[in-house]
């Protein structure tokens, strides 16, 4: 069963549990690989997570001269292979979202691998497992379809829809802030 | 236990050569389920895995929870007892030497006996905490009254839950923090949340809070700051700190005026309606707006939404409780549910967000100066007799009620109390009016502190005893729902550290009181005696056996027998716990904060938590991830206020009140009232905001007014680079 990481940005409270949990994934060397941004810190407490979106045709991998960035059959875009990465940092420049991080000492790129050692077994990634607000969710195709209907995702999400806010098709789906706009109230 | 819409069956990741020990977090009242990863070759805790099948939190954890396991084998752990011979070094980290348990015990016993011989039994005191199991909390009450035979025992719940307890007791005749399980919350139609920064203090409630809005329900938040939960609220009631009572009275007034009162419910199940109506009628939206600073339209709309909602839950936390009218605030907000009859059924009711891990259970079983196990009262001869029977003492031997936590420091200052046994608490950070409190600790004749790390309070001790973390012992905790849950042991105690119950038993034996304690050889032994001691009380745990807790995913008290599955929802039969079965609608005249702004101190200072730290920070400030995310305190100021003082973002200012001063970096943000400044309270020594806070106590709950006092600040350009 294909499952997706789905991000509902409006829910984010800035707790950075996703970053703490990222360090707990088996293959992550206790380093977190994602970001939480303050949207306008002098004005509001709104924050948004920025995780790797696992592009279907990822700019990081396309830009890699050493073919060090592998894509799994499930669509997870992995960290650079230690034996292939030449430390050129093309990927950090190519990624439109600034995801890949670079370890100067090891001369090696590292990034979110969608907790591949978990997700390949159908276990949610650590960030989506712990997220206290359901900003990050691990959802089935059916659940994603329900979200689409509910939030009119064509307008708000990244996935080859009209009004597409992001470049290219991604395996991770997002809803930008504003999911409650036009919400039919119970009373 | 019912499973809710969020529940999914997910297998845990199995790491090679590791065992997963299911347990709960060490920190707040959410008590999120977690699995501790234990390395099978070293038998040490090495990480955490989500506990997807825990029905309340479903694997979710905040950053404190994710990193909680790092406490156990931390380099700062105390491994052996410490003794300090040079009392002039009190208040510093200096002068401690390692000692054997025997030497430490001998010194404690001789000093305690010397003080009690010279100044009487009541010259000793016990100051405890509720970040530990019910078994330890229970035994600490018995330790004070039977082993030390002193009247002076109280605990840090006076800085946390005591107003909620006092308010609920007055309104309902019983104090269970939530009248309904958390798994109901997302199904209600309106959450009215006052004085709770839920997103930072109880983050794993948030997926249920947001779901109310996702379903088309409403979220109303009352808070002086636009906190991360207030940001998305349908209505944010941005009131002045310390004015909740006016706001709550206004809500009740509008509910009555606009026909939302459930007259049948009020007549059949409550007392006091007319007196209350008389008091609240003064609180029109206009008058209330003058007091609270909240626009009248918002007050009207909030009452309308709450009134119309088929089901609604009123929730609150320390924001309304840490005031010198905290208990009144609790009863006043509780009036909202009682007057509309939105209580005593699923998806409707009232709840407080319990701050400490065992804030609920720890206050029920005899650590409070006037309480005995099972929520029995020391002033009730029948209650005393029941407990005496379990303890094997005569009622004449039972000490009288003592005084509240802050008042114990006053008695230390007056030399009525000369010795202190401190455990599971860090009052040298968490108590108000720190200059006074630290002096009281420094002047004690003899002080013992049991802790896992050398806390700021331990710096005042003559003897420090190494206790264990939550992960090195077992027992039960009662979470914020009133659900009794099981904490499991994941590794053996490190070094020579011991669980608090064991330390208390061994000390009691050396004090010649072994016959009351020596039969308690395991945590389970303490649990069995504790269940018996609570039997027949309001907070009856007798039927909450460890087996049942495991089978049912927890047991809600009261649980009176082995057949009784427990009580997830309170008052389903609309029977309250007062003698006539009715709840009390309380008539509560408004009182302003103890200290109002004036020309000299024109700002309102309020304090609270950040998501990365827990209470005094003794644990979380040592965890690298949490320390990196919030390394130091700051003062939050509205940009217009900052402009008046000509202050820039990140500039250092001197903040001061009539009681003390401290220096903080400025954090400018529009998400706070212009007349209010905010400082997080998790920091010690010269960074502690409690150097400035006011010890004005609630007359019922004895809760200090942490949440509001008058302050002033000034630019300190010369301190810019000093830190």
| DSSP calls for A8-32 | EGGG-----HHHHHHTTSGGGTT--
- Report B:168-197 residues touching A (Cβ under 8 A): 189
One DSSP character per residue, B106-152 reads HHHHHHHHHHHHHH-GGGEEEEE-SSS-HHHHHHHHHIIIIIS--SE
Q: How many other C-beta atoms can be found within 10 angstroms of the C-beta atom of residue B213?
A: 21
- Minimal-distance CA residue of chain B relative to A117: B13
Coil/strand/helix, residue B286: helix
Range of the domain at B134: 82-158+358-474+497-539
- Minimal-distance CA residue of chain A relative to B669: A42
Q: Mark whether B175 and B234 lie in a shared domain.
A: yes
Strand order in the sheet with B96-98: B96-98, B82-84, B463-466, B446-451, B419-423, B124-128, B152-155
Q: Mark whether B169 and B127 lie in a shared domain.
A: no
Nearest to A33 by CA among A105, A90, A97: A97
Q: Mark whether B132 and B188 lie in a shared domain.
A: no
Domain membership of residue B71 (yes or no) is: no
Domain membership of residue B61 (yes or no) is: no
Q: Mark whether B389 and B528 lie in a shared domain.
A: yes
Last residue of a domain, one of B327, B352, B377: B352
Nearest to B607 by CA among B456, B433, B356, B451: B433
Residue B522's CATH number: 3.40.50.740
Q: How many other C-beta atoms can be found within 10 angstroms of the C-beta atom of residue A167?
A: 13
For the full predicted model, state whether its pTM sits above 0.90.
Answer: yes
Domain membership of residue B577 (yes or no) is: no
**Over the stretch B323-365, which tens digit does the pLDDT of each residue have?**
999 999 999 999 999 999 999 999 999 999 999 999 999 999 9
Are the Cβ atoms of A42 and B639 closer than 8 angstroms? yes
Last residue of a domain, one of B306, B336, B352: B352
CA distances from B51 to A47, B12, B431, B469, B495 (A): 26, 8, 35, 20, 29
Q: Which residues of A touch B206 (CB under 8 A)?
A: 11, 13, 132-134
Read off the tokens for B64: 């404190």
* A159 has a pLDDT exceeding 60: no
**Residue A170, φ and ψ in degrees, nearest 5:** -125, 150
Number of domains in chain B: 3
d(CA A7, CA A138): 9
Residue B182's CATH number: 3.40.228.10
Q: What's the pLDDT at A30?
A: 84
Domains and CATH numbers, chain A: 3-175 (3.30.70.20)
Q: Mark whether B388 and B535 lie in a shared domain.
A: yes
Q: Does A46 touch chain B (CB under 8 A)?
A: yes
Q: What's the pLDDT at B722?
A: 47
Q: Mark whether B658 and B516 lie in a shared domain.
A: no
pLDDT band at A162 (very low <50, low <70, confident <90, very high): very low
Q: Mark whether B210 and B292 lie in a shared domain.
A: yes
* A155 has a pLDDT exceeding 50: no
Are the Cβ atoms of A41 and B189 closer than 8 angstroms? no
Q: Which residues of B touch A150 (CB under 8 A)?
A: 214
* A154 has a pLDDT exceeding 50: no
DSSP-derived secondary structure letter, B658: S
Q: Measured between CB atoms, which of B203, B625, B629 is closest to A13? A: B203
**Over the stretch A21-68, which tens digit does the pLDDT of each residue have?**
999 887 788 889 999 999 999 999 999 999 999 999 999 999 999 999
Q: Mark whether B134 and B191 lie in a shared domain.
A: no
Q: Mean pLDDT across the stretch A112-141?
A: 96
Domain membership of residue B435 (yes or no) is: yes
Q: Mark whether B202 and B311 lie in a shared domain.
A: yes
Are the Cβ atoms of B200 and A23 closer than 8 angstroms? no
Q: Does B207 touch chain A (CB under 8 A)?
A: yes
Q: Mark whether B186 and B132 lie in a shared domain.
A: no
Domain membership of residue B137 (yes or no) is: yes
Q: Measured between CB atoms, which of A15, A129, A184 is closest to B216? A: A184
Q: Nearest-5° angle of CA A65, CA A70, CA A76? A: 135
Q: Mark whether B516 and B384 lie in a shared domain.
A: yes
Last residue of a domain, one of B352, B384, B407: B352
What does the buried/exposed string (b/e) look like for B115-149 if buried means 16 or more CB atoms within 10 Å of the residue's CB?
A: bbeebeebbbbbbbbbbbbbbbbbbbbbbbbbbbb
Lowest mean pLDDT segment, chosen from A90-99, A132-141, B225-234, B711-720: B711-720
| Disruptive mutation site among A8, A9, A10, A15 for chain B (greatest number of B CBs within 10 Å) | A15
Domain membership of residue B57 (yes or no) is: no
Residue B625's CATH number: 2.40.40.20
Q: Which stretches of chain B score pLDDT less than 50? A: 722-723
Are the Cβ atoms of B625 and A42 closer than 8 angstroms? no
- Alpha carbons within 13 angstroms on the beta-carbon side of residue B476 total 33
Q: Mark whether B675 and B620 lie in a shared domain.
A: yes
Domain membership of residue B582 (yes or no) is: no
Between A and B, how many CB-CB pairs are < 8 A?
Answer: 127
């Amino acid at each position: 069963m294909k499952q997706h990481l789905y991000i509902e940005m409006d829910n984010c409270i800035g707790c950075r549990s996703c970053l703490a949990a990222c360090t707990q994934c088996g293959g992550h060397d206790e380093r977190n690989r994602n970001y939480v941004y303050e949207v306008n810190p002098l004005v509001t407490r709104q924050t948004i997570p920025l995780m790797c979106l696992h592009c279907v045709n990822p700019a990081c991998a396309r830009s890699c001269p050493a073919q060090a960035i592998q894509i799994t059959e499930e669509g997870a875009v992995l960290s650079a292979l230690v034996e292939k990465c030449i430390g050129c940092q093309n990927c950090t420049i190519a990624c439109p979202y600034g995801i890949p991080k670079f370890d100067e000492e090891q001369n090696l790129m590292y990034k979110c691998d969608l907790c591949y050692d978990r997700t390949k077994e159908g276990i949610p990634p650590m960030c989506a497992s712990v997220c206290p607000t359901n900003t990050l969710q691990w959802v089935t195709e059916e659940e994603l379809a329900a979200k689409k209907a509910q939030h009119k995702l064509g307008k708000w999400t990244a996935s080859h829809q009209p009004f597409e806010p992001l470049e290219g098709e991604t395996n991770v789906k997002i809803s930008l802030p504003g999911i409650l706009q036009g919400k039919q109230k119970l009373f | 236990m019912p499973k809710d819409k969020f529940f999914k069956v997910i297998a845990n990741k199995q790491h090679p050569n590791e065992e997963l020990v299911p347990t709960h977090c060490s920190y707040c009242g959410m008590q999120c389920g977690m699995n501790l990863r234990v390395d099978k070759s070293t038998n040490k805790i090495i990480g955490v895995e989500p506990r997807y099948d825990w029905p309340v939190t479903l694997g979710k954890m905040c950053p404190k929870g994710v990193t909680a396991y790092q406490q156990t084998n931390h380099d700062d752990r105390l491994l052996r007892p410490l003794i300090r011979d040079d009392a002039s070094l009190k208040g510093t980290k200096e002068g401690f030497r390692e000692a054997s348990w025997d030497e430490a015990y001998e010194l404690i016993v001789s000093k305690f006996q010397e003080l009690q011989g010279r100044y009487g039994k009541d010259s000793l005191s016990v100051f405890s905490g509720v970040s530990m199991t019910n078994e330890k909390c229970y035994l600490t009450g018995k330790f004070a009254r039977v082993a030390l035979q002193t009247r002076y025992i109280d605990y840090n719940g006076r800085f946390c839950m005591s107003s909620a307890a006092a308010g609920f007791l007055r309104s309902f005749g019983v104090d269970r923090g939530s009248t309904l399980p958390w798994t109901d919350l997302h199904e209600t139609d309106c959450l009215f949340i006052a004085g709770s920064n839920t997103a930072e203090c109880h983050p794993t409630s948030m997926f249920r809070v947001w779901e109310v809005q996702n379903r088309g329900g409403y979220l109303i938040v009352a808070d002086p700051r636009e906190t991360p939960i207030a940001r998305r609220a349908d209505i944010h009631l941005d009131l002045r700190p310390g004015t909740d009572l006016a706001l709550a009275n206004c809500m009740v007034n509008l509910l009555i005026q606009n026909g939302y009162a459930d007259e049948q419910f009020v007549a059949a199940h409550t007392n006091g309606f007319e007196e209350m109506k008389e008091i609240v009628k003064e609180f029109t939206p206009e008058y209330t707006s003058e007091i609270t600073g909240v626009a009248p339209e918002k007050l009207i709309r909030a009452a309308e939404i709450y009134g119309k909602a088929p089901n609604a839950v009123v929730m609150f936390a320390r924001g309304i409780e840490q005031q010198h009218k905290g208990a009144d605030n609790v009863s006043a907000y509780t009036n909202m549910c009682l007057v509309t009859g939105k209580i005593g059924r699923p998806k409707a009711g009232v709840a407080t967000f319990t701050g400490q891990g065992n804030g609920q259970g720890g206050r029920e079983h005899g650590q409070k100066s006037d309480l005995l196990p099972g929520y029995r009262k020391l002033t009730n001869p029948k209650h005393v007799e029941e407990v005496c029977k379990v303890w094997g003492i005569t009622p004449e031997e039972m000490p009288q009620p003592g005084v509240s936590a802050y008042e114990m420091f006053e008695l230390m200052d007056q030399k009525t109390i000369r010795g202190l046994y401190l455990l599971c608490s860090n009052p040298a950070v968490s108590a108000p009016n720190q200059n006074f409190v630290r002096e009281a600790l420094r002047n004690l004749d003899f002080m013992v502190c049991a802790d896992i790390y050398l806390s700021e309070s331990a710096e005042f001790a003559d003897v420090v005893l190494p206790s264990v973390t939550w992960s090195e012992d077992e027992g039960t905790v009662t979470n914020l729902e009133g659900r009794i849950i099981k904490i499991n042991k994941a590794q053996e105690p490190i070094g020579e550290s011991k669980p608090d119950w064991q330390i208390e038993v061994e000390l009691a034996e050396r004090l010649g009181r072994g016959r009351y304690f020596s039969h308690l050889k395991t945590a389970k032994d303490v649990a069995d005696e504790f269940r018996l001691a609570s039997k027949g009380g309001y907070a009856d745990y007798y039927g909450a056996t460890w087996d049942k807790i495991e089978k049912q995913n927890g047991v809600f008290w009261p649980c009176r027998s082995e057949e009784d599955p427990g009580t997830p929802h309170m008052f389903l039969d609309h029977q309250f716990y007062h003698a006539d079965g009715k709840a009390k609608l309380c008539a509560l005249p408004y009182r302003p904060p103890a200290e109002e702004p004036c020309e000299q101190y024109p700002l309102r200072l309020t304090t609270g938590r950040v998501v990365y730290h827990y209470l005094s920070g003794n644990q979380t400030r040592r965890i690298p991830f949490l320390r990196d995310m919030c390394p130091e305190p700051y003062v939050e100021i509205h940009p217009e206020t900052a402009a008046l003082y000509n202050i820039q973002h990140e500039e250092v200012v001197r903040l001061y009140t009539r009681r003390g001063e401290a220096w903080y970096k400025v954090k400018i943000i529009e998400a706070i009232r212009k007349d209010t400044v905010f400082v997080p309270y998790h920091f010690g020594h010269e960074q502690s905001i409690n150097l400035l806070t006011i010890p004005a106590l609630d007359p019922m709950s004895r809760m200090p007014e942490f949440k509001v006092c008058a302050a002033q600040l000034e630019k300190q350009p010369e301190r810019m680079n000093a830190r």
